[in-house]
Structure formats: structure tokens, C-alpha cells
Amino acid sequence: MALKQKGQAAVTDALFLLVIVVGISSLLYLFSSNYGFGTSAYLTSHYESDFATAAIKTILFTSVPHLAEADIKETKEIDYLVTSVKQSYSAENSPTGRYLDDETFFRLRDRIRQVLKPMETSKDYLFYIMEVDQARRILYLYGYLTDFSATPVCKGERIREGVPDATLNLAKRTEYFCVVKDPDSVSRVSQQAQGYVESRTGTYFGRLDAPTEMPAIPGEVFLSLWSTSCVTANPTIFMYQEGPITTMFPLTTDERHYISKSLNSPSVQTRINSFMEANGLLGQKQPIYCVPISDYQDALSTT
Amino acid sequence: MLKNKKCSKGYIGPIGDDLPSLIPLIFALTIFFATFTNTMTQFEKKNTLLDQDLEVLKIARVMKGNGYYSSADQFQKACQLVRTNDVYFMALITPLPSPDEPYNFSIFEESGTDLVPKDLSSSSEILLFDDPLTDPKPYLCPPYEELENYRVPFSGSLFKEAKMIQRNFPIAVETENNLGFTYVQAAQLVVIVWR
């Protein structure tokens, strides 16, 4: 009996060793399959940050013809785009606020769209220019966003069997001009977006009625990029204008000439408040309110 | 007397009794070494890719400079400053399409069922030239003459083996318009690295 047990003990030991080795091998396999993801994600984030920094510089320091209708290859009067923005700012210096004219709105849009083209298939982005004095007004806010609000996946609903393509087609990538009441609304995107990267650069805006103690207003230009996600479907962060903007509120002659100002009008603010009250969002921070650029262009064509 | 008598039932011998235990032992060793070898292979592969990714960023940082180029000579000076660590690289500046055109940049084109590199010397769609009307110099690093000596992984079996990493960056480049006035256009710097 003792001899039989001796033989079994050797096999048992070997089986124990087999179990231990299988456990160690599983751990090794897990390690090898997960190795490098963190570093790879860090390097990707580093690259996107470099890209955003280079993009802001390129956007601001490329040239535009002084006259909007001229062809840059056939004109003598050429400005940097940032110069054109500053000129527009100082020209629009009115007691009701400081805005940029519509030509500058679309020049900036063209350049932003061109420079960020390599990223637009996988990233949503916001480009904005802000005064950083006490007023902290956002002068320009352009967004290239994926609107998931019509898709079931961002509402937490299950995708119906047999209609996967219909779901994907409901997610639209659209250009928007946006406004905010509270500049902090824009920073809330970073709290919910995945793969969020931001770059900024400083500048100064001149004003015609500048007091001696503040000859120029400091400003900042921001570019935020993030991976396409359901953050754009969150109504506490983004709200979208539906339908042509001219049907949503009456425009005065002055407002028709400067569509960019009309988004800050009291009538739009009233509409935002009504929406928030209807959806139980009163008391929460104001969202970023966005109008599709096609509606902007339609409204301009009626002026 | 029974103590001196060995019972042969179930007893082969001192070594023979251990023979069955060799089976799981060998099995365990095989599993361990196979997993270990596989782990080391994956480790090396991923490290190689991460190193290449890091090299792309280092090279791009040198080539980008301050994000503004006024001539192809300036670009070539930056090219000479690049120091690589056991990788081959290529950097070029390419024009960006206008805002409403699709983005289709690639240095490869289809040839039957294969992908082959485009002829950089003659393609103004993928390469930006300094002074295109008078003395066209490409924004290409390394220059054409040195590119021929590179182990270019574009042909035959080398293409299928090489793992290339490409990164694009926006960049501002000075050029002249038809009236001879300087203006700055938006372009993109493309950096490609392979081993």
C-alpha cells in the first residue's frame, strides 16, 4: 500500500505543477494581450495635442484676400486671417457687444474645415475665440459635430434587429455656428467627451474707444477635439436649432445684416429658456446652442 | 519476514513509478515555454511599433519647427537635423484640398490587386513645390537623390513585411501668387516611418 501511494504522489505532484503552470501561462497571456495599450493611447493623445497646436497656428497665419470676393492668386492685397479677424472685431465695436461680421465668420469656417479635414472622419471639434477680460464673451464658436440625437444608441435604446444601417445613417455630421450664454458651458464638453484634447493660443484685440488703462483686450483662440461620442446628444451640453432660423424668430433689418448677432438676441434666449423649462432643465447650466451652417447661409441669401 | 518481502503489485521500480508523472510534467513545460515565447514575441512586436510611433513624433517635431515654412531650402535644413534610431523615414509637405472637397490623401495607388507608391517626382497633387513656375523644388525629405538609396519598402515582398506609421500635421507654407505677391497657404506635413 505504501508503495502504491509513493507512485501516486509523483503523479499528483506533477498535476499540481501542471495547474500552477497553466495559471502562470494564463497570466502571461493576459499580460501579452494587454501590453502597450496604455502607452499607445498616450502616444495617440500626444499626437492629437501636437496636431491641435499646429492646426491653430496654421488656421490663424494663413492668408486671405483683403476683399472677400477676390481670388488670392490674382490679388495684391493679402492679409493674415488673424489680421482679418482683428479688423472685423474693431469694426464691429458697438455698445451692444462685440462680434465678427459674417464674411469673417465664413472665412474662418473655410480655413478651419480645410485644416482639420484629416481629422474630421473620426473626431468632432469646436473652434472658438473668446475675450478673456471681465466680460469673457465668446466671439466665435464653430463646431463640426456628429448629431446622434436621432439614433437609438445614445438614448440607451436597443438597436432593432435587421436595421443596423438605418441606425448609422441617422448620425449626421454637420457644421454649426453656436452661441453660449455662459463660457463655462464649453468646458463642460471636456468632462464627458472621450479622447478630449484642447489647444489654445493668446492674442489681443484692438478697440476704437480704448481707455488708456486697457489699450487692447486680451483674447484666446481655442481648438477642442474629441472622439465622436454621445456627448453631442446630451441636451444639457448641446442644443440644436431645428428648421430655418428665419422662421424661428423675426429679424430686424440690423439683425438680418449681421446674422451672427441675432443668435444672441433676447428672442433666442427666450426660446432656450422655454426648451429648458419644458424638459425639466431649468436651473441647470445653459447648453451650447447650435445652428446648422446651411441655415445661416439660407438666411444670408434672403438679406 | 513480510517486511523483507517486496510486494510487486503496482510497483514497477523506483524510476518506473515516476514515469506516469512525466506526462503532465512535459505537458506543463510545453505550455509554459510556448506561452513564454509567445509573450516575448508579442512584447517585441508591440515595443517595435511603440518605438516607431515615438520616432514619428520626434521626427515630426523637428520637421514641423515653428509650423511655418518660407522655402524648400528651409525644409531641407530641417531635414538634415533629423537623427533616427534604426528606422527609415520620409517627410513631405502636401497641399490640402479645399474645404468642400473630399480628403483622399495617400502616397499609394492601386495597380491591379497591389498597392504601389505614386511617382513623387511628377505628382503635384501629393507634393508641394517651392516656386512651381520658375524653379520647382519639392518639399521632400530626404531629397530624390537620397531616396533611391533608401530601403524603400514599396516593392515586392518588402512592402508586405514593412510596417509603416504615418502622421499628418497642418503647416503653413509661403508661396507666390500669379502676380508675384507672397501669401501663406495651409498645407500638411506628412511623416512616414518604417523599419
Tens-place pLDDT, residues A224-255: 999 888 888 777 788 776 655 544 444 455 55
Residues in a beta bridge with B116: B109
What is the arithmetic mean of pLDDT over B79-85?
87
d(CA B37, CA B35): 5
Q: Please check the confidence at residue A258 and state whether its pLDDT lies above 60.
A: no
For residue B183, the distance in angstroms to the closest alpha carbon of chain A comes to 6
pLDDT band for position A48 (cuts 50, 70, 90): very high
What is the arithmetic mean of pLDDT over A45-52?
94
Which pLDDT tens digit goes with each residue over A185-199?
A: 888 888 888 889 999
pLDDT at B32: 93
Q: State phi, psi for A255 to the nearest 5 degrees.
A: -70, -35
A25, A113, A118 member nearest B168 (Cβ): A118
d(CA A10, CA B24): 10
Q: Which candidate, B169, B167, B192, B96, places its Cα nearest to that of A57?
A: B169
pLDDT band for position B156 (cuts 50, 70, 90): very low
- Number of neighbouring beta carbons within 10 Å of residue B125: 11
Across the interface, do A50 and B64 touch by the CB < 8 Å criterion?
A: yes
Share of chain A above pLDDT 70, in %: 71
DSSP string, A42-95: HHHHHHHHHHHHHHHHHHHHSEEESSTTS-GGG-S-EEEHHHHHHHHHHHTEET
- Number of neighbouring beta carbons within 10 Å of residue A166: 12
Phi-psi region of B85 (alpha: psi -120 to 50; beta: other; left: phi over 0): beta
Q: Grid coordinates representing A235? A: 441636451
pLDDT at A247: 46
Question: Can you state the angle between helices A37-61 and B19-64, rounded to 10 degrees?
Answer: 10
Of the residues B167, B184, B192, the best mutation for testing chain A's interface (the one with the most A CB atoms within 10 Å of its CB) is B184
**Amino acid (one-letter) located at B26:** I
* CB-CB neighbors (< 8 A) of B12 in chain A: 7
* CB-CB neighbors (< 8 A) of B47 in chain A: 36
d(CA B100, CA A283): 40
Question: Can you state the angle between helices A102-115 and A37-61, rounded to 10 degrees?
Answer: 140
Q: Please check the confidence at residue A160 and state whether its pLDDT lies above 60.
A: no
Q: Supply the pTM of this predicted model.
A: 0.83
pLDDT band for position A256 (cuts 50, 70, 90): very low
Kindly identify which residue of chain A lies nearest to residue B9, measuring between CA atoms.
A4
What is the arithmetic mean of pLDDT over B99-122?
73
CA angle B166, B168, B171 (to 5 degrees): 150
Of the residues A30, A32, A225, the best mutation for testing chain B's interface (the one with the most B CB atoms within 10 Å of its CB) is A32
**Amino acid (one-letter) located at B16:** G
d(CA B87, CA B176): 35
Share of chain A above pLDDT 90, in %: 24
Q: Please check the confidence at residue A123 and state whether its pLDDT lies above 60.
A: yes
Length of chain B: 195
